[in-house]
Chains A and B, each alone.
Chain A
Amino acid sequence: MSTPAIEILGLTKDFPVGFWRKRMRRSLDNLTFQVEEGEVFGFLGPNGAGKTTTMKLLMGLIFPTSGTARVRGRSIDDVQMHREIGYLPEQPYFYDYLTARELLDYYARFSNYSKAERRERVGRFLERVGLAAAGNVQLRKFSKGMLQRAGIAQAILHDPAVVILDEPMSGLDPVGRREVRDIILDLKKQGRTVFFSTHILSDAEMLCDRVAVLAGGKLQGVGAPGEIVSMKAHAMEILFEAREGRALPAALAKNATRIGGRCRVEVPEEALYGALEQLRNCEARILSVSPVHPTLEDYFFRLVGSPATSRGLEEISR
Chain B
Amino acid sequence: MNATVGPVAINTFREAVRDRVLYNLVLFALLMIGAAILVGEISIGIERLVIINLGLSAISIFGLVMAIFIGVGLVYKEIEKRTLYSLLAKPIRRWQFLVGKFAGLLLTLGVNTIFMTLGLAAALVYVGGHFVRSDASILVAIYFILLEFALVTALAMFFSCFSSPMLSTLFTLGIYITGVFADDIHGIGEFTKNPAVLAITRTLYYLVPNFHNFNAIDTVAHGGAIPFSLVWQNTLYAALYIALLLVAGSAVFSGRNLK
Chain A: minimal CB distance from B224 (Å): 44
Contact B92 A110 (CB under 8 A): yes
Chain A: minimal CB distance from B249 (Å): 18
Sort chain A's interface into a size bin.
20 to 34
B91 within 8 A of A: yes
A109 within 8 A of B: yes
The CA of A95 and the CA of B101, in the complex, are separated in Å by 14
Contact B89 A87 (CB under 8 A): yes
A33 within 8 A of B: no
Instruction: Kindly specify which of A34-42, A77-85, A120-128 makes contact with the partner chain.
Output: A77-85
Instruction: Kindly specify which of A57-65, A173-181, A203-211 makes contact with the partner chain.
Output: A57-65
A154 within 8 A of B: yes
Contact A82 B258 (CB under 8 A): no
Contact A82 B91 (CB under 8 A): yes
Chain A: minimal CB distance from B181 (Å): 36
Contact with A along B88-116 (1 / 0, CB 8 A): 11111100000000000000000000000
Chain A: minimal CB distance from B258 (Å): 5
8 Å CB contact of B83 from A59, A86, A93: A93
The CA of A111 and the CA of B87, in the complex, are separated in Å by 12
Contact A109 B258 (CB under 8 A): no
Contact A79 B257 (CB under 8 A): no
8 Å CB contact of B89 from A63, A85, A95: A85
Query: Would A93 and B81 be within 8 Å (CB), given that A56-B258, A60-B88 are in contact?
Result: yes
B14 within 8 A of A: yes
Contact A151 B86 (CB under 8 A): yes
8 Å CB contact of A82 from B19, B90, B255: B90
Q: How many inter-chain residue pairs (CB < 8 Å) link A and B? A: 72
Query: Would A110 and B83 be within 8 Å (CB), given that A62-B257, A97-B18, A97-B19 are in contact?
Result: no
Chain A: minimal CB distance from B4 (Å): 6
Of B82, B86, B257, most buried by chain A (CB within 10 Å of CB) is: B86
B85 within 8 A of A: yes
Query: Would A63 and B255 be within 8 Å (CB), given that A93-B83, A94-B83, A112-B3 are in contact?
Result: yes
The CA of A60 and the CA of B19, in the complex, are separated in Å by 30
The CA of A109 and the CA of B2, in the complex, are separated in Å by 11
Number of interface residues of B (CB under 8 A): 24
Contact with A along B217-259 (1 / 0, CB 8 A): 0000000000000000000000000000000000000010110
B174 within 8 A of A: no
Contact B92 A97 (CB under 8 A): no
Contact A61 B88 (CB under 8 A): yes
The CA of A62 and the CA of B255, in the complex, are separated in Å by 8
Chain B: minimal CB distance from A45 (Å): 20
A residues near B24, Cβ cutoff 8 Å? none
A residues near B34, Cβ cutoff 8 Å? none
Contact B15 A97 (CB under 8 A): yes
Residue of B nearest to A151 (CB): B86
Contact with B along A163-183 (1 / 0, CB 8 A): 000000000000000000000
A106 within 8 A of B: yes
Chain B: minimal CB distance from A235 (Å): 44
A residues near B11, Cβ cutoff 8 Å? 95, 98, 106
The CA of A56 and the CA of B91, in the complex, are separated in Å by 15
B residues near A95, Cβ cutoff 8 Å? 11, 15, 83
Contact B85 A92 (CB under 8 A): yes
The CA of A87 and the CA of B19, in the complex, are separated in Å by 28
Chain B: minimal CB distance from A159 (Å): 13
8 Å CB contact of B92 from A79, A86, A88, A92: A79
Residue of A nearest to B81 (CB): A93
A301 within 8 A of B: no
Chain A: minimal CB distance from B250 (Å): 14
8 Å CB contact of B85 from A61, A83, A98: A61
A225 within 8 A of B: no
Contact A63 B257 (CB under 8 A): yes
Contact with A along B75-86 (1 / 0, CB 8 A): 000000111011
Chain A: minimal CB distance from B185 (Å): 34
Contact A110 B4 (CB under 8 A): yes
A50 within 8 A of B: no
A135 within 8 A of B: no
B residues near A94, Cβ cutoff 8 Å? 83, 86
Contact A83 B83 (CB under 8 A): no
The CA of A154 and the CA of B81, in the complex, are separated in Å by 17
Residue of B nearest to A81 (CB): B91
Q: List 22 A-B contacts (CB under 8 A).
A: A61-B257, A62-B257, A79-B93, A82-B89, A85-B89, A89-B86, A89-B89, A91-B82, A92-B82, A92-B85, A93-B81, A93-B83, A94-B86, A95-B83, A97-B14, A97-B15, A107-B87, A109-B3, A110-B92, A111-B90, A151-B86, A155-B86
Chain B residues in the interface with A (C-beta under 8 A): 3-4, 6-7, 11, 14-15, 18-19, 81-83, 85-93, 255, 257-258
Q: What would 12 more interface pairs be, CB under 8 Å, given A59-B85, A110-B92, A111-B91?
A: A56-B258, A59-B88, A63-B255, A86-B89, A91-B82, A97-B15, A109-B7, A110-B7, A110-B90, A154-B86, A155-B86, A155-B89
